[in-house]
Amino acid sequence: MDHKKDIAIIGGGPGGYLAALRAPQLGRKAVLFEEDRVGGTCMNYGCIPTKYLLHQTKILKEVRETKTVVGGAGIGLAVTKAIVEAHGGTVGAASEPGRGSVFTITLPRPGA
């Protein structure tokens, strides 16, 4: 097996991993060195995590500003929905005035 490479890329951020993907398309062999996490700042610390946090904060703000009909903080169902959906599941609700409500949580089987 030939371990010789044409290009050494230092850093597995968007700059690095795109170079590593493009190199073989151009007929070059590349090796990528990453000291922390492949994906770099954008995937692991910057763009994606900050946007996710902003999205969750917006949901929390909307829920807090929504008038509750009965007592309680009113965020339980929204938090439940966010957590269940983050795990690939769904939350369902069926309500009949004067009869009560039925909430259904469906989660995918681990590894499915």
Ligand X SMILES: Cc1cc2nc3c(=O)[nH]c(=O)nc-3n(C[C@H](O)[C@H](O)[C@H](O)COP(=O)(O)OP(=O)(O)OC[C@H]3O[C@@H](n4cnc5c(N)ncnc54)[C@H](O)[C@@H]3O)c2cc1C
Which of 22, 50, 55, 66 is the binder for ligand X (CB under 6 A)?
Answer: 50
Residue 14 or residue 89: which is nearer to ligand X going by CB? 14
CA 77 to CA 64: how far, in whole Å?
Answer: 12
Closest of 88, 39, 46, 80 to residue 63, by C-alpha? 80
State which of residues 7, 30, 31, 34 lies at the interface with ligand X (CB under 6 A): 34
Annotate each residue in 51-90 with x if it binds ligand X (CB under 6 A) or - if it does not, as one string: ----------------------------------------
- The binding site for ligand X (CB under 6 A) comprises 10-16, 33-36, 40-42, 46-47, 50
